[in-house]
A and B are shown apart, each in its own frame.
Chain A
Amino acid sequence: MSELELRQTTVEASAEHLEPRRRRMPRAGTVLAVAFVAFLAVATVAPSLVWTQDPNRIAAADAFESPSLAHWFGTDESGRDVYSRVIAGTATSLLIGVSATLIGLALGLVLGVLASFGGRALDFGVGRVIEVLFAFPGLLLALLVIVVAGPGPVTATIAVGLSTAPGYARIIRGQLVGIRSSHYVEAARVLGHSPGRILARHLLPNALVPLFVLATLGVGQAIVWAAALSYLGLGAQPPAAEWGAMLAAGRTYLATAPWLTVFPGLMIVGTTIATTMLGRALTRRGREGR
């Protein structure tokens, strides 16, 4: 098991247990999740549209102001607006999360495809590799990578990508094996279709939606892990506006200015929840065949 597999199976299971909808109305949670992700996208592409002031504007007189109408999330030790800094940090945090996911997904795909198409010996070998990598639970593999490669945002990203790869590999292998042994692939073989055609028309299209769901869930998880590494001082460093680094910087002032910690963290929590909800909505849509 890995955290990713757990998230993935619960998403699958919950999509199964939801009652069928009477009307074709998206659920309120899905709408909120889409809105949140859209907001993150704007904050990434054009942060100046949504921030209220220059995130790096220092105003010593305004230091440590608690949240107010002027400063929604309060101000930090240099009087910078926390809300604007959170917006400014979206791009970095998402970039790290998405890159780590792509690394993990790419490695997972290679391992998963090798295991499911490479014959019995390869399947066995890949299975053992995955099993061994799972013996470095959670952040442990990432920490090991950082010992080797040294701290920093780039190595942290790679570290998170590497440590999520075995989870991706096992899920992808399971899905490919499931599709390959499905009755409809067998029916296509009985019709005399070639393996290439079966791959192109049945295997890949049916593997795509679950893969997309998986990537969505993975981004949420990768952001959390990368932020954890930043928080421990091994990833992005303050004064960067990356969410984890902001949290780390706010740690000193936890007793006097908790908003420095609360709001960047809420963004991380919100992103994770939104990706999970999106994953569920996508799975459901895939199930209902639309």
Chain B
Amino acid sequence: MPLLDIAGLRVAFGDHEVVHGVSLRIDAGECVAIVGESGSGKSVTARALLGMAGAGARTRSDRLQVLGRELGDASERIWRDVRGRRVGLILQDALVSLDPLRPIGREIDDPLRIHERMPPAARRARVLELLARVGMPDPEFAAGRRSGELSGGLRQRALIASALALDPPLVIADEPTTALDVSVQARILSLLGEIRKAGTGILLISHDLAVVSRLADRILVMRRGEVIEEGAADDVLGSPREPYTRALIAAVPTDRPRGTALAVARSAPVAIPESPPAVVPTGSDAPERPPLLRFDRVAKGFSVPGGRLLAVDDVSLELRPGETLGLVGESGSGKTTVARLALGLTDPDSGVVLLDGEAWSSRPERERRPMRRRIGAIYQDALSSFDPRWSVGRILADAASVGARGTGRPAPRVEDLLDQVGLVASVAGRRPLNLSGGQRQRVAIARALAAEPDVLICDEPVSALDVTIQAQILDLLDRLQRRRGLAMLFISHDLGVVRHMSDHVAVMRSGRIVESGGTEAVFAEPRHPYTAQLVADAPRLTP
């Protein structure tokens, strides 16, 4: 008997159907993954399997069986009995998926209290056993902590423990590792692997093919509410049939050499790059040129209660024209402070930042201001970097006027700026709020380039985007860099993205650069153990 057997599942909100007839079967000890981008209906599908598709949702199905029991028109009471006991749910980000006001021990105890008549002492023992099982150090102590008092990895373990409390035969994991650092992500994935090995069925929901490839036996690819491809993981990843699946796989930047296009035209084969090989030589070919941006033993600290935190500690970097320097590190490593130092938004405590051989960090703001147009920036959250009252046209015209100032050249036209980032001219009349994430990032790039800078600082520019959109933006950045000979400081937590984009890399940890050098040299033969660990943990497609 399968753990889960559904056929023809449809979910609609009002007259708007978002899931169009999904069929799915999971057996004991099997991991089935649903992969899709935002809006594909994958999360709604997962929730519908718990009778929780959402307020105002109508769910219909030909068959919706959990452990052989038909639940197609089950009442809320029957569903409540299923939830937690038959099916457990693991969500993204335990900081908000566990009640921040309650100790995690109470949260893990909840399913026991709701479903089982167990004496408190037995429940207490079970909670500690569960915490030990998910690898929580010192369960006794941890049970009394709240989610905010634990690290990201530990609280995600607690969340998993609460889903496993009654040993449900099936666990639904909805983006269980998203927003975690890669090293933590790797450990959580192996924990899920152990659970599967113990015989629990897992439905894994993720946007990340690389994560899925580590765990899934079978993969379903969802797009716009439909399953468009389905099969054994090796088949789907190794020989995808559908163009969309091929595009998803091609968009994963890991192990894809610099200069190859990630986004593919719908019918094009994967391996052939969209654009011809580099015309402008990249930095590695031209080492003679002096660096445009240089960090010389820069340190920057912030006072925190109880001392001083060195966010950037003795960092030296060089960025040459036409070259991309990748800066990779986990959260809290000081990457963003480096970006702010490079942009002259904050001054170093010691050391200097030089722009084209001239003083940059040590200059008074009044003198620095006319030089600012030479350094542009794009950020992770493009929307908040636009004045909410301004249209796209006004944003770009404002930036273009800066580029023209003092140079005597005519300001670039808004239409041309939009055109070079692949947007139609009519976007000029719209507000960023009404654009998609990818379009917003394109506008941000157009704004950064409007002032015709020599250096572009990219701080996590694609972290908030779907993979296929991410691929398009990365391709766009790559193309624009070649065309204009831009120097780029590319900051990201994503090893795959950095590796794909960079000529040189620097690996950052706790404010220090632990290793740097040519991208392939560093990643192929890491010298520092931390780099080696990062490379080992980085999710990659393993068909």
Q: Which residues on A are within 8 Å of B, measured CB to CB?
A: 182-184, 186-194, 201-202, 205-206, 289
B336 smallest CB distance to A (angstroms): 12
Known interface pairs A205-B389, A206-B387, A289-B433. Does A191 touch B381 (Cβ–Cβ under 8 Å)? no
What's the nearest-Cβ distance from chain B to residue A265, in Å? 40
By a CB distance below 8 angstroms, the chain B residues around A189 are: 345, 372
Interface string of B407-451 (1 = CB under 8 A from A): 000000000000000000000000101000000000000010001
Give 20 A-B pairs besides A184-B386, A194-B369 with Cβ atoms closer than 8 angstroms: A183-B379, A183-B381, A183-B385, A184-B385, A187-B386, A188-B387, A189-B345, A190-B372, A190-B376, A190-B377, A191-B373, A191-B398, A191-B399, A191-B447, A192-B451, A201-B398, A206-B388, A206-B389, A289-B388, A289-B431
Which chain A residues lie closer than 8 Å to B75 at the CB level?
A: none
Tell whether, in the assembled complex, residue A186 and residue B389 are in contact, meaning their CB atoms are under 8 Å apart.
no
Question: What are the residues of chain A within 8 A of B376 when measuring CB–CB?
Answer: 190-191
Q: Are A192 and B402 in contact (CB under 8 A)?
A: yes
Residue on B nearest A185 in the bound complex, by CB:
B387
Question: Can you list 20 A-B pairs, Cβ within 8 angstroms, ordered by A?
Answer: A183-B379, A183-B385, A184-B388, A186-B345, A187-B379, A187-B385, A187-B386, A187-B447, A188-B387, A190-B375, A190-B376, A191-B373, A191-B398, A191-B399, A191-B451, A192-B369, A192-B372, A192-B402, A289-B388, A289-B389
Q: List chain B residues, Cβ under 8 A from A182.
A: 384
B388 close to A186 (CB less than 8 A): no
Count A/B pairs, Cβ under 8 Å.
54
Q: In the docked arrangement, what's the CA distance between A192 and B453, Å?
A: 11
What residues of chain B lie closer than 8 Å to A184, measured between beta carbons? 384-388
**A187 B373 Cβ-Cβ under 8 A:** no
In this complex, what residue of A is CB-closest to B432?
Answer: A289
Closest A residue, CB atoms, query B406: A192
Chain B residues, Cβ within 8 Å of A193 = 402
Whether B19 is near chain A, meaning CB under 8 Å from some CB there, is: no
Q: Count of B residues near A, CB < 8 Å?
A: 25
A192-B373 contact given A183-B379, A183-B381, A289-B433, CB 8 Å threshold: yes
In the bound assembly, the distance between CA atoms of A186 and B447 in angstroms comes to: 14
CB contacts (< 8 Å) of A183 on chain B: these are 379, 381, 384-385
Q: Which residue of A lies closest to B366 (CB)?
A: A194
- Chain B positions 337-386 with a Cβ under 8 Å from a chain A Cβ: 343, 345, 369-373, 375-377, 379, 381, 384-386
**Binary A-proximity of B206-229 (CB < 8 A = 1, otherwise 0):** 000000000000000000000000
The 3 closest A-B CB pairs, nearest first, are: A192-B372, A183-B384, A183-B385
Contacts of B379 in A (CB 8 A): 183, 187
Q: Measured between C-beta atoms, what is the minimum distance from B161 to chain A in Å? A: 33
Looking at A186, A202, A205, the one whose CB has the most chain B CB atoms below 10 A away is: A186
Cα–Cα, bound, A182→B447 (Å): 17
* Docked pose: A175 CA to B291 CA in angstroms: 41
- Please indicate the chain A residues that have their CB under 8 angstroms from the CB of B431 in the complex: 289
B residues in contact with A201, CB < 8 Å: 387, 398
**Distance of A225 Cα from B338 Cα, bound (Å):** 53
Residues of B within 8 A of A194 (CB): 369
Q: How far in angstroms is the closest Cβ of chain B from A205?
A: 6
Query: Are the CB atoms of A186 and B385 closer together than 8 Å?
Result: yes
Alpha-carbon separation in the docked complex, A95 to B175 (Å) = 59
With A and B bound together, what is the CA distance between A187 and B379 in angstroms?
Answer: 9
**Chain A positions within 8 Å of B371 at CB level:** 192
CA distance in complex: A202, B389 (Å)? 9
Minimum CB–CB distance for B350 against chain A, Å: 23
The interface centre, meaning the residue of B372, B389, B402 with most chain A CB atoms within 10 A of its CB, is B389
A192 to B363, CA, bound (A): 14
CB distance from B376 to the nearest CB of A (A): 7
For A188, the chain B residues whose CB sits under 8 A away are: 387
CB distance from A188 to the nearest CB of B (A): 8
Complex Cα gap A193–B376 (Å): 13
